[in-house]
Amino acid sequence: MNPETAAAPETGALPPLVGLVMGSDSDWPVMEAAADALAEFGIPFEADVVSAHRMPTEMIRYGQTAHERGLRVIIAGAGGAAHLPGMLASVTPLPVIGVPVPLKTLDGMDSLLSIVQMPAGVPVATVSIAGARNAGLLAVRMLASGTDDLAVRLRGDLLDFAQELNDVASRKGA
């Protein structure tokens, strides 16, 4: 699977609610965990490569139009000089979750610091280095915070999920 085909099987024809973007195809092995988490909760998403440095015009257009297209959360992953999450956050009203992708040098610290040190007024919810699964789960929680049918359904699913984690931890401790 790759970013372009990631959303197809699990989400059918439903319009995407989450935009899962990354700076390069090479980020996909890390970012795939976010796609998996969204799919586990039946969240329709789209996955795209939208590089802040190599395709800045498209990246800005993506951010400016994301809410108009029905997206409610953006998950953005990038490595190195990881400007994608912050740049998107500067042009969208949607919550942006940033995923620092580790590259061969600097162990992802460069990515983490590029994403987490945002100026006041332009928030990015940064997860851990390579923390794409938590990015997906955080997006699910954001979608679960409303009053619509999806939010109510997701709150139930999240409580079941938390109980399963608890049961697994109890078995390990036994």
Q: Does 105 bind ligand RP5 (CB under 6 A)?
A: no
Q: Does 23 bind ligand RP5 (CB under 6 A)?
A: yes
Q: How many positions of this chain bind ligand RP5 (CB under 6 A)?
A: 12
CB 80 within 8 A of CB 25: no
Q: How far is Cα 19 from Cα 36, in angstroms, rounded to an integer?
A: 14
Nearest partner of 94 among 67, 122, 127, 64, judged by Cα: 67
Q: Does 132 bind ligand RP5 (CB under 6 A)?
A: no
Indicate the residue among 16 and 79 with the shorter CB distance to ligand RP5: 79
Sheet of 45-49, strand order: 45-49, 18-22, 73-79, 96-101, 125-126
Q: Does 131 bind ligand RP5 (CB under 6 A)?
A: no
**Per-residue x/- marks for ligand RP5, 47-86, CB under 6 A?**
----x-x------------------------xxx------
Indicate the residue among 23 and 63 with the shorter CB distance to ligand RP5: 23
Indicate the residue among 100 and 136 with the shorter CB distance to ligand RP5: 100
C-alpha torsion sign, points 154, 1, 58, 84: positive
Q: Does 117 bind ligand RP5 (CB under 6 A)?
A: no
Q: Specify the amino acid at residue 140.
A: V
Say how many CA atoms lie within 13 Å of 117 toward its Cβ.
Answer: 8
Return the residue of 2, 26, 128, 163 that touches ligand RP5, per CB under 6 A: 26
Nearest partner of 139 among 14, 26, 59, 43, judged by Cα: 43
Q: Does 3 bind ligand RP5 (CB under 6 A)?
A: no
Indicate the residue among 63 and 79 with the shorter CB distance to ligand RP5: 79
Q: Which residues bind ligand RP5 (CB under 6 A)?
A: 22-24, 26-27, 51, 53, 78-80, 101, 103
